[in-house]
Structure 1
Amino acid sequence: MSNKTKAAMMKAAPNRWFTFCILTLSGGIAFKLGSMKDMFYVPMQEFMGLTNTQIGGAMSAYGIVQTIGLIAGIYICDMFSKKYMIGGSLIGIGLVGFYLATFPPYWGFLAAFGVIAILAEVTYWPVLLKAIRLLGDEKTQGRMFGFLEMGRGIVDVIIAGTALAIFGAMGEGANALRAGLIFLSCATIAAGILCLIFVPNDEKRVGADGKELNKATAAFGGMVQALKSVDIWAVALNGFVVYCIYCGLTYFIPFLNNIYLLPATAVGAYGIINQYGLKMVGGPIGGFMSDKVHKSSAKHIRMGFIVCIVAMALFLMIPHEALGASGNWIIGAACTLGFGAIVFTMRAVFFAPMDEVKVPAEITGAAMSLASLVIYLPNSFAYLMYGNFLDRFPGMAGYRIVFGVMIGWAVIGVFVSTFLISRIKKHQQAGK
């Protein structure tokens, strides 16, 4: 499928922004059951009989299945229509949620999280990214992905808040937890049905002879093409470095608590702003900067790496321990949130360069699966690495190492993004 064909598909779509809203809604709902611990950690222990180790084991199993599954996803994500992949995955997640509401034994709980990992991370997320990419063109990719991130943050707050409100209204007991899980399940299934109705089917792939290509053969060819593409690997590695820095944002919370003596009530408020507020702000800003200011998501991300280096270097010069002792935690909170906002503008658009390097539309699913595999790989080592530094070097010394490593990643990122930009320029020159 040529880029002209892709542009024609985009223009022919009946109200692509409405479809975009449906996809964004689903993106904010799809992961709520998989992240139920964020809302119901203590109730899960109390009413489902789970220990800290068991909950941690389920999340580890989720991550292992996700990693292995994304390898297979490079093949399967272009084999079936995005309409049925997205809608079917959401409905499947919702059905698993009803099973979780029965409070199954631990092995059933573990299996349920394995299934959710496949449906949410393998057959849903890369295909959602594929659908978003195909809705826009090179000039709108930054805004598309930026608004996706913002919209997901808004839906996150609404859905999580509603589930917690139901839990509280029903007395915060076992039945209240069941009701919260059932609500999340119903919301996920409803999103799946909406996607089945409004998300368009994929166009049929036709060979040079004018005949429709066999889907399995075409998908295998797309997988091989994606794996051999230097451009896709460049996009993936660029996002990988951004995510390594993003993982470090987690440690701003203990930093403010330990060094700036952040009050307990403020810790929760900071966490909400850091998780949801920055996502809602960083998404549209990142999209706007990419499309309107830098005219390229890759160039915006490179500038972001440079700003991260300068900002974190200046941040390390601040006398944090003296400020913390005097109770000036607002300064520390403002600086860390400012740095986080920069990273979120980069995170919002790290899939957008797929269009700039002219990845063929028909292998978008394979490309997004491969990129997701690489970009989210830091989940398997970054937190362990940062945490180890903090345990081995208590106090400000450990945080200086963590922040120094984040600077190191940003330096690497400048080189990776520069290489990616050179690939983009090569494609632009070839297209003239």
Structure 2
Amino acid sequence: MLTKKKWAIFSLLTLCGGTIYKLPSLKDAFYIPMQEYFHLTNGQIGNAMSVNSIVTTIGFFLSIYFADKLPRKYTMSFSLIATGLLGIYLSTMPGYWGILFVWALFGVTCDMLNWPVLLKSISLLGDSNQQGRLFGFFETGRGVVDTVVAFSALGLFAYYGSGLLGFKAGIWFYSGIAILVGIFIPLVLDDKSDNQKESTDKPAQKNNNRISAVLKNKTVWMIAFNVFFVYAVYCGLTFFIPFLKNIYALPIALVGAYGIINQYCLKMIGGPIGGIISDKILKSPSKFLCYSFIISVVVLILLIVLPHEQMPVYLGMVCTLGFGAIVFTQRAVFFAPIGEAKIGEEYTGSAMALGSFIGYAPAMFCFSLYGHILDSNPGILGYKIVFGIMAAFAFCGVLVSVALVKNIYKNREATPVAS
């Protein structure tokens, strides 16, 4: 599918995507240590994630204006190095307000400056018929990187006694690897083709036309809201960790490992499955999202009615991980419809930024919402309420994805946006 050079670029981009989010996603492997050493409640961890997401959402809107203008290699390099430096500060164990400040800045370094540019770089490696597989294998690669890096950090945590020093060692490891990848990005990624395209038109006029075209395109908005509902459901996966600990009495030694499997290993399963089904079987990422939303609604209803307090812990793990795998097949391809809809290449970065601006907005409120529901409703009731809200989001996703499929097929023969 790709040339050797493109495979090298793809691998580096995957490494970038798999390392930059380790620090803002510290909860995945270190949820319990965060509560203990940062002195945070479920709601406060949710607040940190929500503050991060508020900044991220504003940043995604701003990135609509520069995602197709700034040199990709330097933008991604700066974002990785800055994220690593924030991690070093985090290891000083700042107070609650310091935590909120760091997570707010993660929204700038990881999301505003990096994510839309990274997505554009992945999309440009293939044509419209390869988008599902590209993004699917990108998620798989991220899952591999995520898993190796996170288990390495967890290993350091255990090596240094599973205490404060081990927690700091894990943070230092995440910080160091982000900085290292940031140093390598400019040595491999090439921006010459981008510069050549930009030089053909007046920059200001070209940028204004690009933004206007993307904002007026109905398909891009539908894709963005598709991402929105996938991500609203995805936010709930974080709370499967305390769910298994509190309801199923999952041993503390397995909590960190489960968090890594839940958030990272599932990418390795969901990525290729979502990409291959989208491209090879259904031949449409938008159709795949529609069907998978329907399955998500059914599974979430089952999670509500199951007698969890009478079920063995390993069955609970299978149920939650199985649902997580479904969500990760969706995450693998939820930006692929941009390529399926044949959005013009010069508008891809702006379209990705708009999709990210709308799509990741649930993180502004879902983490806090779910966390405070659990704090206010102890026991199984709180989790059933959360599962019910996730099911409602998934049902809304069914409605939007049906509209997206109809829109793409209606305009299949139309020219790309603003062409």
Are the aligned partners of 2:28 and 2:259 in contact in 1 as well (CA < 8 Å)?
A: no
Whole-angstrom distance in 1 between the partners of 2:316 and 2:63: 42
In the other structure, the counterpart of 1:79 is: 69
In the other structure, the counterpart of 1:304 is: 292
Whole-angstrom distance in 2 between the partners of 1:173 and 1:262: 19
Please tell me the residue identity of whatever aligns with 1:333: M
RCO comparison, higher one (Cα < 8 Å, 6+):
2
Gaps of 5+ in 1: 1-9
Q: 1:271 to 1:31 in 2, by over 3 A?
A: closer
Residue 388 (structure 1) shift: 5.2
Q: 1:416 pairs with 388, 391, 400, which one?
A: 400
Residue 284 (structure 1) shift: 1.2
**Aligned partner of residue 124 in structure 2, secondary structure:** helix
TM-score, normalised with respect to structure 1: 0.82
Please tell me the residue identity of whatever aligns with 1:150: T
Q: 1:212 to 1:110 in 2, by over 3 A?
A: same
Are the aligned partners of 1:74 and 1:367 in contact in 2 as well (CA < 8 Å)?
A: yes
Are the aligned partners of 1:287 and 1:349 in contact in 2 as well (CA < 8 Å)?
A: yes
Please tell me the residue identity of whatever aligns with 2:219: D
Q: 1:174 to 1:263 in 2, by over 3 A?
A: closer
Q: Deviations over 1:201-231 (max 9, x none)?
A: 1423658xxx632334433332232222211
Whole-angstrom distance in 1 between the partners of 2:95 and 2:368: 29
1:18-417 matches, cutoff 5 A: 18-36=8-26, 38=28, 50-52=38-40, 59-100=49-90, 111-166=101-156, 169=159, 180-201=170-191, 202-204=193-195, 212-257=200-245, 259-318=247-306, 320=307, 324-325=309-310, 327-387=311-371, 389-390=373-374, 395-417=379-401
Are the aligned partners of 2:28 and 2:263 in contact in 1 as well (CA < 8 Å)?
A: no
Q: 1:184 to 1:272 in 2, by over 3 A?
A: closer
Please tell me the residue identity of whatever aligns with 2:281: V
Whole-angstrom distance in 1 between the partners of 2:373 and 2:312: 25
Segment drifting more, 360-369 vs 333-342? 333-342
Segment drifting more, 226-235 vs 198-207? 198-207
Residue 59 (structure 1) shift: 4.5
Whole-angstrom distance in 2 between the partners of 1:391 and 1:31: 26
Whole-angstrom distance in 1 between the partners of 2:30 and 2:258: 19
In the other structure, the counterpart of 1:430 is: 414
Are the aligned partners of 1:274 and 1:340 in contact in 2 as well (CA < 8 Å)?
A: yes
Give the superposed CA RMSD: 3.4
Are the aligned partners of 1:79 and 1:218 in contact in 2 as well (CA < 8 Å)?
A: no
Residue 98 (structure 1) shift: 4.6
User: How many residue pairs were aligned?
Assistant: 413
Residue 407 (structure 1) shift: 3.0
Segment drifting more, 250-259 vs 97-106? 97-106
Q: 1:64 to 1:41 in 2, by over 3 A?
A: same
Whole-angstrom distance in 1 between the partners of 2:46 and 2:259: 20
Q: Deviations over 1:391-427 (max 9, x none)?
A: 6666555544433333332322222111111121123
**Aligned partner of residue 428 in structure 1, secondary structure:** coil
Whole-angstrom distance in 2 between the partners of 1:273 and 1:382: 21
Please tell me the residue identity of whatever aligns with 1:30: I
Are the aligned partners of 2:87 and 2:172 in contact in 1 as well (CA < 8 Å)?
A: yes
Please tell me the residue identity of whatever aligns with 1:271: G
Give the greater-gyration-radius structure (CA). Answer: 1
Gaps of 5+ in 2: none
**Aligned partner of residue 203 in structure 1, secondary structure:** helix
Q: 1:96 to 1:343 in 2, by over 3 A?
A: closer
Please tell me the residue identity of whatever aligns with 2:229: V
State the identity as a percent: 46
Q: Deviations over 1:137-194 (max 9, x none)?
A: 1221111111111211221222233334445556778776665544433322221232
